Amino acid sequence: MEVVIVADAEAAGAIAAGIVERLLGTKPACVIGVATGSSPVITYRRLVEAFCAGRITFAGAHAVLLDEYVGLPADHPQRYRRFVHEQLVEHVDLPVEHVHAPDVDTQDLAEAGRRYEALLTELGGVDVQLLGIGSDGHVGFNEPGSSLRSRTRIKTLTAATRADNARFFANLDAVPRHVMTQGLATIGDARHLVLIACGVGKAPPIAAAVEGPLTASCPASILQLHPHVTVVIDEAAASGLTHAAYYRETHAGKPSWQHY
């Protein structure tokens, strides 16, 4: 796991966007795992800038969502598919039919989960998976207690996550209780995991995920099982890390030929 501590959210977004930009350059027909929430917003903005500057094209790429709320109408502003469209897809040349999300509008959500897993396999797997982290350590919407080998399925949100996300809704009651999310094993199948976290509120879950025990109580601790992880965090999010000095030293001495 590579932990990259940067000054602020702008710098974090630049690094994450640079990883996706490089992927698009080396593998134009790549599969990008897209996250929602506020953490990846700067990353998307940087990618849009790179596209507008003519440095990248998304024409051959696919985007796959990590998760989606269950029970919101398809045109609801908080649908994650809509979020990804507004933040990224509408501003670049990624074909709309290349944007994929679990089908939360069907009656058979278990079957929708299986179909999403099959789709990810058909696409050849996810090349780079962008991730945020919840204050309770969730990735995607895998709440504490999620099976470490879980696949795409329905989950019930914790009260903490619903309270965190209430800022995007009219009130707490409007926040859905159920979601569909890629499982922890699904996320772990991506070839490169890139987790972005900024602000002091992310310090406890980052410390637990990076340096705590591997446990379903902190779903993001599955990062420790993965051979290629980049955790990009600002100083505030790094403030709970015991080995921060080592991560800084490692990054400062990173060989020039070594990519993220």
The 3-state DSSP class for residue 5 equals strand
Question: Which position among 62, 68, 98, 138 bears the catalytic label?
Answer: 138
212 token code pair: 């705590």
219 is an interface residue for ligand GLP by CB under 6 A: no
89 is an interface residue for ligand GLP by CB under 6 A: no
140 is an interface residue for ligand GLP by CB under 6 A: yes
Has 67 been annotated as catalytic? yes
Question: Shortest distance, CB of residue 154 to ligand GLP, whole angstroms?
Answer: 14
Has 97 been annotated as catalytic? no
Q: What is the DSSP letter of 157?
A: P
250 is an interface residue for ligand GLP by CB under 6 A: no
Has 127 been annotated as catalytic? no
Within 6-65, which residues bind ligand GLP (CB under 6 A)? 35-39
- Specify the residue, 56 or 218, whose C-beta has the smaller distance to ligand GLP: 218
Q: Which residue has the tokens 């949100």?
A: 157
Of 32, 50, 64, 66, the one binding ligand GLP (CB under 6 A) is 66
Strand 31-34 relative to strand 62-65, pairing: parallel
156 is an interface residue for ligand GLP by CB under 6 A: no
- Specify the residue, 35 or 207, whose C-beta has the smaller distance to ligand GLP: 35
Question: Shortest distance, CB of residue 197 to ligand GLP, whole angstroms?
Answer: 8
Question: Which position among 117, 136, 164, 234 bears the catalytic label?
Answer: 136
* Distances from the Cα of 28 to the Cα of 24, 57, 62, 127, 206, angstroms: 5, 8, 10, 11, 32
Which DSSP string corresponds to 18-69?
HHHHHHHHH-TT-EEEE--SSTTHHHHHHHHHHHHTTS---TT-EEEESEEE
- Specify the residue, 56 or 198, whose C-beta has the smaller distance to ligand GLP: 198
186 is an interface residue for ligand GLP by CB under 6 A: no
* CB 225 within 8 Å of CB 190: no
161 is an interface residue for ligand GLP by CB under 6 A: yes
- Specify the residue, 51 or 141, whose C-beta has the smaller distance to ligand GLP: 141
Of 44, 58, 83, 141, the one binding ligand GLP (CB under 6 A) is 141
Has 49 been annotated as catalytic? no
**Sequence-ordered strand ranges (E) for the chain:** 2-6, 31-34, 62-65, 67-69, 99-100, 128-131, 153-156, 178-181, 192-197, 229-234
Phi-psi region of 145 (alpha: psi -120 to 50; beta: other; left: phi over 0): left
| Close Cβ partners of 96 (under 8 Å, ≥ 6 residues apart) | 85, 89
- What is the binding site for ligand GLP (CB under 6 A)? 35-39, 66-67, 132-134, 140-141, 161, 165
Q: Active-site residue numbers?
A: 67, 136, 138, 143
